């Protein structure tokens, strides 16, 4: 394997391990000018982009924790990624609506795999912050009730221990 190909594959491994949001698109006949527009679009929304060859990526993913993700790489692909969530992160899930030669194949969102259907559903959300807010509320509301209950129990136990020491 030549040095340029090795470096490219290592950069794909870095993208997978260092980014929380990774969208995979199949690139169907995107011209050089359309690719330039796509790069400008991703930069406008503070996203990053990398074109990859499917067979190379499948080989490097096979023996990694991301092996299950290798089935997404069909034909020439484009990775759109972001290290962390920001107000424009949701744009990575809607790029195919602007660039119709891109076909969504799937995504990794904070190490959770999204199928092409789930991925396409994410494009309809205007803001991922809204989604995380809803998820946080679903998780935190029951926890807050539990914390209040535990505080009450601790108070009652302290009172009982204090009475038994007397």
Identify the CATH class of 3-125: alpha beta
Higher pLDDT, 105 or 165: 105
pLDDT score recorded for residue 63: 73
Q: In 3-state terms, what secondary structure has residue 132?
A: helix
pLDDT range class, residue 36, cuts 50, 70, 90: very high
Residue 107: other Cβ atoms inside 10 A: 26
Summarize pLDDT for 106-149 with one digit per residue, the tens.
888 877 777 777 777 766 655 555 555 555 555 565 655 566 66
DSSP of 3-48: HHHHHHHHHHHHHHHH-SEEEEEEE-S--HHHHHHHHHHHHHTT-E
Helix or strand holding residue 122 (H, E)? helix 116-122
pLDDT score recorded for residue 37: 94
Residue with tokens 């259907």: 117
| Tokens linked to 145 | 């009730």
pTM (predicted TM-score): 0.68
Rg (CA), the chain: 22
Summarize pLDDT for 42-73 with one digit per residue, the tens.
999 889 999 887 777 777 777 777 777 777 77
pLDDT score recorded for residue 144: 58
Strand intervals (E) in the chain: 21-27, 48-52, 77-82, 102-109, 112-114
Residue 49: other Cβ atoms inside 10 A: 18
Contacts of 53 (CB under 8 A, 6+ apart): 76, 77
Strand partners, 79: 24, 50
């Amino acid at each position: 394997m030549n040095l340029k190909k090795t470096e490219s594959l290592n950069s794909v491994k870095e993208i997978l391990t260092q980014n929380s949001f990774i969208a995979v698109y199949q690139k169907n006949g995107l011209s050089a000018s359309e690719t330039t527009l796509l790069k400008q679009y991703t930069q406008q929304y503070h996203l990053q982009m990398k074109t990859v060859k499917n067979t190379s990526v499948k080989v490097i993913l096979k023996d990694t924790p991301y092996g299950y993700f290798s089935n997404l790489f069909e034909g020439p692909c484009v990775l759109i990624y972001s290290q962390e969530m920001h107000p424009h992160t949701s744009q990575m899930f809607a790029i195919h609506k602007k660039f119709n030669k891109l076909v969504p194949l799937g995504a990794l969102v904070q190490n959770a795999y999204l199928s092409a259907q789930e991925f396409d559903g994410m494009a309809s959300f205007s803001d991922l912050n809204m989604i995380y807010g809803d998820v946080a509320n679903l998780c935190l509301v029951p926890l807050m009730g539990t914390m209040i209950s535990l505080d009450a129990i601790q108070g009652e136990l302290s009172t009982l221990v204090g009475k038994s020491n007397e």
